[in-house]
């Protein structure tokens, strides 16, 4: 019998934290004289009441959890927090249905960045800040999950990082709580730095704070309908590109750099792969865009750099409609959305380390074909890969593709055209944001999709954000048997 008390206790704490977070946009609306401050106050009270009740009713002497409890907690907490986070959207003056509100909340807390909202330029400031705050909280939640939870659950090869950080000498700090506090502090510092830089580059103070939060979280929610293209400012483009790249690298390595290992980022193979892949794709697209569309190379490089990094890291900002660049660019952007960033970052997608493991597996297979009696060992970061890790990565990749195909087919069955269905499925599973085509592309949004498609995409966002296994394992009858 599974003991649900520790699960409900932690969910209660998270709801209490969410209630505190709701106060911030409420105060902003109150300052600007917008009546939605009452909505945030009521939603905060509901969240605090439910959270407080769960904490008081499920107190336990110890908080030790089994892997089954951890699987349930991870998925349940994301669903409950999304359901409550949707309340301010549903009861605000925007007149959103709960379906739209849930979609927006899931897109925010999963740092996907897909939106059903129109008229962002004139939207209430509290709602705009709430969207940014959801992505900011989701971003730090993902980092903590990737470091503390996923390696323990052995999800999709993440146990690899438990092996890497098992020795005290390899840890940035000796205790897990210190690691979490160090990462949170660094997360806040990065947000402050990018807020100042964006304000200095020409954004208003409010826009700078909101965009800094969603940049470091690689979320992509903007305060403008035209996203970053609204500003048409090369300096802002560069600052946000650097911010998205910062959010896409392992935060634990930042801590190690500050603790006396300044070159640890450059020595990490995952970081080197990320930079190499990004630069190769950016230069290829920039050269093609410059030649085919008769654009100066520097202009092509500016737009290619920003938008490739945005899609690759799953941020989802846009400065132009790259869907109009031509067939080659559309194909590249479609496949780039699945890559993602590094493990231990705020990004999503397949992630670089899994591509490295797949590459090593393929290399071993080719070597075996050439030398059948040879002995070959796959390595990651100069350490041999165990069979457990390679099997986990292969299983993750299969299920990731399987979920993408099923979701794309389901969206197609609901009447969406091929480009809209397949790119919507991809952007949901990979937590990217914009899709492709005139409806859900960089210049559109998801408001016109049927409600069923929005619920399907919300499920896809959850599956992609929680690394597939964490959600799908709950569907197995064997999981619930004693």
75 is in an annotated binding site: no
DSSP string, 198-238: HHHHT--HHHHHHHHHHHHTT----SSTTGGGGT--HHHHH
Q: Within a 10 A sphere around the Cβ of 66, how many other Cβ atoms?
A: 11
208 contacts: CB under 8 Å, gap ≥ 6 = 195, 196, 198, 199
> Number of H helices and number of E strands within the chain?
22, 2
Q: Is 393 buried (19+), middle (13-18) or exposed (0-12) by CB count in 10 A?
A: buried
Task: Tell me which DSSP letter residue 353 carries.
Answer: H
99 is in an annotated binding site: no
In this structure, what token pair is assigned to residue 343?
A: 């493990």
In this structure, what token pair is assigned to residue 157?
A: 């090869």
3-class secondary structure, 62: coil
111 is in an annotated binding site: yes
Contact present, 335 and 448 (Cβ < 8 Å): no
Q: Which residues pair with 145 in a beta bridge?
A: none
DSSP string, 271-327: HHHHHHHHHHHHHHHHHHHHHHTT--HHHHHHHHHHHHHHHHTT----SS-GGGS-H
**Rounded distance, CA 145 to CA 251, Å?**
12
469 contacts: CB under 8 Å, gap ≥ 6 = 153, 155, 156, 395, 396, 399
219 is in an annotated binding site: yes
Q: Within a 10 A sphere around the Cβ of 260, how many other Cβ atoms?
A: 7
315 is in an annotated binding site: yes
Q: Which residues pair with 384 in a beta bridge?
A: 379
Q: Which residues are annotated as a binding site?
A: 111-112, 219, 315, 431-432
Q: Which residues are annotated as a binding site for K(+)?
A: 111-112, 219, 315, 431-432
């Amino acid at each position: 019998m599974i003991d649900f008390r520790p699960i409900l206790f932690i969910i209660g704490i998270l709801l209490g934290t969410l209630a505190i977070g709701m106060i911030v946009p409420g105060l902003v609306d109150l300052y600007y004289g917008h009546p939605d401050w009452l909505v945030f106050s009521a939603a905060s009270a509901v969240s605090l009441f439910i959270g407080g009740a769960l904490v008081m009713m499920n107190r336990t002497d110890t908080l030790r959890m089994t892997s089954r409890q951890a699987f349930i907690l991870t998925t349940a907490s994301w669903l409950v927090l999304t359901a409550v986070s949707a309340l301010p959207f549903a009861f605000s003056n925007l007149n959103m249905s709960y379906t739209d509100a849930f979609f927006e909340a899931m897109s925010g807390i999963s740092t996907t960045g897909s939106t059903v909202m129109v008229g962002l330029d004139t939207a209430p400031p509290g709602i705009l800040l709430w969207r940014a705050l959801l992505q900011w909280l989701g971003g730090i939640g993902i980092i903590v999950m990737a470091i503390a939870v996923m390696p323990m659950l052995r999800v999709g090869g993440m146990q690899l990082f438990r092996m890497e950080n098992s020795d005290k000498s390899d840890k940035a700090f000796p205790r897990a709580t210190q690691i979490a506090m160090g990462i949170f502090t660094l997360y806040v510092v990065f947000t402050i730095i990018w807020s100042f830089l964006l304000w200095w580059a020409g954004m208003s103070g409010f826009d700078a704070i909101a965009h800094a939060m969603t940049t470091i979280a690689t979320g992509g929610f903007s305060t403008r309908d035209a996203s970053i293209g609204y500003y048409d400012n090369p300096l802002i483009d560069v600052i946000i590109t650097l911010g998205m790249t910062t959010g896409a690298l392992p935060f634990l390595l930042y801590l190690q750099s500050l603790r006396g290992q300044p070159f640890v980022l450059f020595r990490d193979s995952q970081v080197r792969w990320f930079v190499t892949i990004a630069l190769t794709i950016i230069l290829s697209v920039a050269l093609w865009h410059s030649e085919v569309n008769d654009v100066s190379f520097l202009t092509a490089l500016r737009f290619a750099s920003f938008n490739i990094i945005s899609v690759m890291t799953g941020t989802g900002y846009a400065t132009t409609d790259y869907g109009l660049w031509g067939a080659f660019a559309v194909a590249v952007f479609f496949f780039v959305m699945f890559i993602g960033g590094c493990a231990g970052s705020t990004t999503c997608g397949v992630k670089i380390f899994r591509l490295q493991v797949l590459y090593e597996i393929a290399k071993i297979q080719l070597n075996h074909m050439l030398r059948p009696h040879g002995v070959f060992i796959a390595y990651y970061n100069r350490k041999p890969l165990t069979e457990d890790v390679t099997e986990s990565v292969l299983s993750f990749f299969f299920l990731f593709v399987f979920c993408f195909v099923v979701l794309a087919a389901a969206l197609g069955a609901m009447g969406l055209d091929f480009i809209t269905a397949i790119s919507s499925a991809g952007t949901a599973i990979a937590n990217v944001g914009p899709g492709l085509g005139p409806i859900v592309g960089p210049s559109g949004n998801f408001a016109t999709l049927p409600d069923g498609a929005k619920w399907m995409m919300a499920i896809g966002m959850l599956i992609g954000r929680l690394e597939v296994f964490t959600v799908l394992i709950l569907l197995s009858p064997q999981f619930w048997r004693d």
